[in-house]
Amino acid sequence: MARRGELYSGLAVAAVFIILEIAAMSMLKRSSTLQDFWINRASHNAMAWTWGRVTEVRNYFSLQKQNQLLAGRNFELFKELQRYKEMEKELKALSKLDSIGFRSRYNYIPAEVTAMGTNSRHNYIILDKGSDDGVRPNSAIITPNGVVGMVYSVNRHYSYGLSLLNDKISVSARIGKEGLVAPLSWDGRGTDHAILKDIPLHLTVAEGDTVLTSGLSTVYPADIPVGVTMGSRLVDGAVNVVDVKLFIDFATLRYVIIAENPDRETIEEMER
């Protein structure tokens, strides 16, 4: 009982102290304009800080949605640009073209990267689209800024691909729109670097030329910018290669485009 009395006594003292503090603050606020100013200022600063933190948290969680909207818009613009590029090529070959009935050579599917490796010589990429979305093996994985890789296998909801940072991937590329065609591949020197191989020894490639996909493939659409040349060099005294600085930043890659050629198997059968 004595302990309970001491507890009640302590609570009573605490309550009286809090009441006196509130009363003192009220009297202080009313007694002086200067004191009133400082009290209001402290209160407003605290409120501003709180609302600032709330706004930062809200903006952070809205970034993902904003990024998805931007990726969707970029995807639609990319499809339209590729359609015009293909129409331009057809116009050069034909005197007339029914542009209304023109069918793009590729089907484009937007996808998001769910996993990716960049620390070995056999790097991979996993995407959130599969056979239910129209993805098939040997489809290209690209962005408006370059080649990402190629789909290797699919299940209903996901795709497994080999990235360009894999020594088993080779892409037919062209230096400029009318220049030399050569295979482009990764040489393991960094995630932003590749080489053009099989360059004739008598040719010297200048720095600063844009490298694009050649279109001489059933996998990759034509004229996708890949990177920029950094000059040519002789390797082992017998092979001339061109160093290429890639446009794609694999470290920040999140949204990609799967380019599926519905006529690929027919064309490959004719080639065989």
Task: Please write the tens of the pLDDT for every residue from 149-173.
Answer: 999 999 999 999 999 999 899 999 9
- The reported pLDDT for the residue numbered 190 is 85
Q: Is the pLDDT of residue 115 over 90?
A: yes
Q: What is the pLDDT of residue 17?
A: 57
- What is the mean pLDDT of the segment spanning 58-86? 66
Rounded alpha-carbon distances, angstroms, from residue 55 to 19, 30, 58, 59, 63:
34, 33, 5, 6, 12
Residue 228's identity, in one-letter code, is V
Please tell me the predicted confidence (pLDDT) of residue 65.
64
- pLDDT computed for residue 101 by the predictor: 45
Q: Do 192 and 249 meet the contact criterion of CB atoms below 8 Å apart?
A: yes
Condensed to tens digits (0 to 9), the pLDDT of residues 191-241 reads 999 999 988 887 778 899 999 999 888 899 998 999 999 988 887 777 789
Report the chain's mean pLDDT, rounded to a whole number. 77
Q: Which domains does the chain have, with CATH numbers?
A: 105-271 (2.40.10.340)
Q: Quick one: pLDDT at residue 7?
A: 47
Quick check: helix, strand or coil at residue 160?
Answer: strand
Tell me which DSSP letter residue 198 carries. Answer: E
Burial class of residue 163 in the structure, from the number of CB atoms within 10 Å of its CB (0-12 exposed, 13-18 middle, 19+ buried): buried
Output the DSSP codes for 10-60.
Answer: HHHHHHHHHHHHHHHHHHHHHH-HHHHHHHHHHHHHHHHHHHHHHHHHHHH
The percentage of the chain sitting over the pLDDT mark of 70, rounded to a whole number, equals 62
pLDDT score at 18: 61
Query: Looking at residue 179, what is its pLDDT?
Result: 86
Model pLDDT for residues 188-205, shown as the tens digit of each residue:
888 999 999 988 887 778
Distance CA(142)–CA(155), nearest Å, equals 20
Beta pairing class for 181-185 and 146-154:
unpaired
Other beta carbons within 10 Å of 138: 16
Residue written as token pair 């795709």? 159
CA–CA separation, 188 and 166 (whole Å): 8
Q: Which of 72-76, 133-137, 220-224, 248-252 has the lowest mean pLDDT?
A: 72-76
CA 166 remoteness from chain centre: 18
What pLDDT is attached to residue 88?
A: 58
pTM across the whole model? 0.66
Distance CA 111, CA 115 (A): 12
Question: Distance between CA 108 and CA 139 in Å, rounded?
Answer: 10
Instruction: Give, rounded to a whole angstrom, the gap between the first and last alpha carbons of the chain.
Output: 100
Token pair belonging to 57: 């948290």
